[in-house]
Amino acid sequence: MAFRWPKGGYPQPQGPYCCGIGACLALGRDLVEVHYKVCLYAGVNIGGTNAEAMPVQWEYQVGRSEGIDAADQHWMSRYLLLRIAEEYGVRMSFHPKSIAGDWNGVGCHTNFSTLAMREPNGI
């Protein structure tokens, strides 16, 4: 069973959870906010969080980073998330399709820019 889902069933269909607020939509926000604060304390360049389409599916942004530091920031943020999940008794998954059925998958969005893209009238 997914973290904070109803016992023996499924929550309402996905959709209203994306960027949602309130106890019935923002499931797991307490864990997410602890992760955010721990990342800041540890020096991870975390920039924000938001709820996604599936209940208990969250996104966080790490960056602005250059070169290998981007990967270091990413992996440290994941390590911290896994350690915090242990404290909550939660098994964290980065599997692209962690819940079978008509539920959104997950991914790792990677954004980048080049000097040419940042110049006036860039790409």
Q: What is the pLDDT of residues 53-106, one digit of tens each?
A: 777 888 899 988 888 998 999 999 999 999 999 999 988 888 888 777 787 788
Distance CA 118, CA 111 (A): 13
Model confidence pLDDT, tens digit, residues 94-117: 888 877 778 778 878 777 888 899
Instruction: Grade residue 45 by pLDDT with cuts at 50, 70 and 90.
Output: very high
Please name every residue paired with 62 in a beta bridge, in sequence order, or none if there are none: 46
- pTM assigned to the model: 0.80
Domain ranges of the chain: 26-92
Distance CA 123, CA 103 (A): 35
For the cut 90, the answer to whether the pLDDT of residue 32 exceeds it is: yes
Coil/strand/helix, residue 59: strand
90, burial (CB in 10 Å: exposed 0-12, middle 13-18, buried 19+): middle
Q: Average pLDDT for residues 23-48, to the nearest whole number?
A: 91
Distance CA 69, CA 74 (A): 8
Exposure string for 19-38, b = 16+ CB within 10 A, e = fewer: ebeeeebbbbbebbebbbeb
Q: Average pLDDT for residues 34-38, to the nearest whole number?
A: 98
Higher local confidence (pLDDT), 39 or 91: 39
pLDDT score, position 68: 93
> Which tokens belong to 117?
């893209």
For the cut 70, the answer to whether the pLDDT of residue 6 exceeds it is: no
Higher local confidence (pLDDT), 5 or 69: 69
Q: Average pLDDT for residues 13-39, to the nearest whole number?
A: 83
